[in-house]
Amino acid sequence: MRALGIDIGGTGIKAAPVDVVAGTLLAERKRIETPRPAEPEAVADVVRQLTSEFGWTGPIGVTFPGVVAGGETRTAANLDPAWIGMNARDLLSNAAGQPVEVLNDADAAGIAEMVFGAGKGITGTVLVLTFGTGVGSALFTDGKLVANTEFGHVHLRGHDAERRVSEQARELHDLSWGKWAGRVQEYLQHMEALLSPELIIIGGGISKKADKFVPLIEGVRAQIVPAAMRNDAGIVGAAMAATPA
């Protein structure tokens, strides 16, 4: 079974066709910069372009960096506020000319990690965190997703946590790996106090450099591991959502 997975991020929009049974990309992914401003019609044009570039016909799954319920986007922290209250499923289906399913980006990445990656076969509570432009989260209990958690927006020192611990924050403030790891450690300790996960999976592009900061994190009881699928998890999870079993 195949579907096109499209992963909308704050800085880039990535896509590739996916074998959803194997959890693998069927072609090299394509990436287009996220439009600025990231208004709905502008992003829909990119979805249209990516669909066309793959010559795709069939189901399409699209991730969105915000709360998604019933195809409606209810928050849009790192995109244009015009998305709030938008029926994204209809907008993107019309743009692509194909049926589209829309879900939260971190939820999509988490689904892929739990089926094919670092969370495969793990029971209990698993927290997946994606560090990029912001911080996305996906929470699983005995393999079942608790959708739209958005834990990047819990308050830490009076601000949204992602303003301190995202990869963008590390780059913006030119933080050393040690200083950034200290911030991430404080955040993980806060999340552990709330959720008591057995496993924390670190995803997003930063997972490729997990060896630079994960060993520096102390005082967290949960096991911390990098995402096995790395930055492809969102694309695979999106495709999986478009082809439910």
pLDDT single digits (tens) 103-135: 999 999 999 999 999 999 999 999 999 999 899
Phi-psi region of 204 (alpha: psi -120 to 50; beta: other; left: phi over 0): left
Cα 49 versus chain centre, distance: 21
pLDDT at site 244: 77
Q: Determine the residue type at 86.
A: M
Each residue of 26-59: b (16+ CB within 10 Å) or e?
eeebeebebbeebebeebbebbeebbeebebeeb
pLDDT single digits (tens) 90-111: 999 999 999 999 999 999 999 9
In angstroms, rounded to a whole number, what is the distance separating the alpha carbons of residues 241 and 46? 20
Q: Which domains does the chain have, with CATH numbers?
A: 2-103+233-242 (3.30.420.40), 118-228 (3.30.420.40)
* Backbone angles phi and psi of 146, in degrees to 5: -100, 105
Grade residue 78 by pLDDT with cuts at 50, 70 and 90.
Answer: confident
pLDDT single digits (tens) 202-244: 998 899 999 999 999 999 999 999 999 988 999 999 999 999 7
pTM: 0.94
What sign results for the dihedral spanned by CA atoms 159, 161, 165, 167?
negative
In angstroms, rounded to a whole number, what is the distance separating the alpha carbons of residues 238 and 245? 14
* DSSP letter string, 12-64: EEEEEEEETTTTEESS--EEEEPPSS--HHHHHHHHHHHHHHTT--S-EEEEE
Q: Pick the closest to residue 192 from 203, 204, 200, 182 (CA basis).
A: 200
> Does the pLDDT at position 31 exceed 80?
yes
